[in-house]
Amino acid sequence: MKCFNISLRRSWNKAEFHNSLKTPKPNQTLRWHLESNSHTKVLLLFKSFLRNRQTFKSIDSFSFLYALKACNHKHSSIQGKQLHAHIIKFGFQAIVQLQTCLLNMYARSGNLCDAHQVFDEMPVKNNVAWTSLISAYVDNHKPVKALELFRLMQSNNVEPDQVTVTVALSACAQTGTLDMGEWIHSFVRRKQGLNRRDLCLDNAIINMYAKCGDIVTARKLFDSMRNKDVRTWTCMIVGHALHGQAHEALQLFSEMNVKRDKENWNPVITPNDVTFIGVLMACSHAGLVEEGKRHFTSMSEDYGIQPREPHFGCMVDLLCRGGHLRDAYDFIMEMPVPPHAVVWRTLLGACSLHGELELAAEVRHRLLKLDPVYVGDSVAMSNIYAKKGMWNKKVIVRKQIKQPRRAPGCSSVEVGSGVSEFVTAEDDHPF
């Protein structure tokens, strides 16, 4: 009987062991759903683990890390703040990985104040933490602050890596600070470990030179590169288009298309949607209306790329520059997405240039529905009436203008080793 009880206990223990293997641990379940892109399930499961006494004890810093990553994908700032509170409650606020993930969460929701506060409260600020904060300001269109942080990072003796430098170069491209971009490029060439050939970094350098006005250096670097991906070609095509060098941009696009694999005759590098923005910009600057139409049609028919708002805007600009205002109006009306105010303003500006009174009145009527407080539309319309000698209507439109409170204009200029911002009507700037 005793032997029977022992054998029964052994068999029960073996069955329990196999059942425990079949039942995944909480962290394994969270990770599996995260890797399956089931972000909502991750957050729901994490909440259930908090409520369950058995799973509550197994929650650790990795559990919060998986939940935060799911929250970042869902762009949910409310759930992110709740997780932040639980991290403090559990005493995990000193873990750098969690703090970095929290910083990214606040940055993605546009809450730079809380993102910076998380950074300031980090007991140890490593390279990843600094890069995350710099990237947060770049992604939220505050490149001047990003460059300030990049310099502060170096003064704190934290070595930037290739990712940090790439983000800093992106900030230079946004602000047009060529001197700073050249200094970073020189730093990359001097620093051991950074001067290895890295395609992402090379692309960032080309993009910086192209956006900061030195298209000659950008093209030299482009021509010297052996390995090029679609971003390399796109940076150069967009760069030429921005500098009004339409034929150079279109020639590059043609070369990109003829580079084919000899074995299967397929394009080695397939253009993306940003590539076509550069192509359409080039066609617009050169007045190549028919070629622009052909490229726009080729996007979806030949490459399966669905046009986005910037592509529609480029096409409206192309038609307006070519004087095809009615075609531009019909194109806007047939757009599969609701046209925004900028598209209509492009057409209104063309109407003012070409003296199209009736079409301008129709466009302004639509703009009044989209953005009734914008003064520039009424000013443009009153100027059209003035050109036609219709002074009474000009006065009527001018009287309809209600001056709203608008954000003051801002510009930046590179002074010495720094970038200074100047705001309209500001009188207390040190410079």
Domain that holds residue 267: 228-306
pTM: 0.79
182 pLDDT exceeds 80?
Answer: yes
In a domain, 100, yes or no: yes
Total domains, the chain? 4
User: 181 with 172: CB under 8 angstroms?
Assistant: yes
Better-scored residue on pLDDT, 52 or 188? 188
Q: Same domain for 373 and 397?
A: yes
DSSP-assigned letters across all residues of 42-80: HHHHHHHHHH-HHHHTT--HHHHHHHHHHHHHHT-HHHH
Nearest to 83 by CA among 94, 73, 260, 70: 70
Evaluate if residue 271 carries a pLDDT over 70: yes
Is residue 129 pLDDT above 90, yes or no? yes
> Where do the DSSP E strands lie in 260-308?
none
Q: Is 120 within the bounds of a domain?
A: yes
C-alpha distances in Å from residue 285, one per residue of 244, 246, 427: 6, 6, 38
Answer with the one of 210, 227, 244 that is the final residue of a domain. 227
Confidence of residue 411 (pLDDT cuts 50, 70, 90): low
- Does 414 map to a domain? no
Give the amino acid at 149. Answer: L
Residues 131 and 53 in one domain: no
Query: Does a structural domain hold residue 159?
Result: yes
Q: Which residues are within 8 A (CB) of 389 and not within 5 positions of it... i.e. 6 or more apart?
A: none
* Alpha carbons 280 and 302: distance in angstroms, whole number: 16
90 contacts: CB under 8 Å, gap ≥ 6:
59, 64
pLDDT at 21: 41
Q: Residue 430 pLDDT more than 50? A: yes
Task: Choose the weakest-confidence range: 356-360, 387-391, 427-431.
Answer: 427-431
Q: Is there a single domain that holds both residue 98 and residue 170?
A: no
CB of 414 closer than 8 Å to CB of 179: yes
Q: Hey, how many other C-beta atoms are within 10 angstroms of the C-beta on 11?
A: 10
CATH number of the domain where residue 154 is located: 1.25.40
In this structure, are 280 and 340 located in the same domain? Answer: no
Mean pLDDT of the 400-406 span? 59
Q: Is residue 170 part of a domain?
A: yes
Contact 328, 319 (CB under 8 A): yes
Pair 118, 151 in one domain: no
Do 283 and 358 lie in a common domain?
no
User: How far is C-alpha 336 from the geometric centre of its chain's CA atoms?
Assistant: 23
235 with 282, same domain?
A: yes
Q: Which of 106, 124, 142 is the last residue of a domain?
A: 124
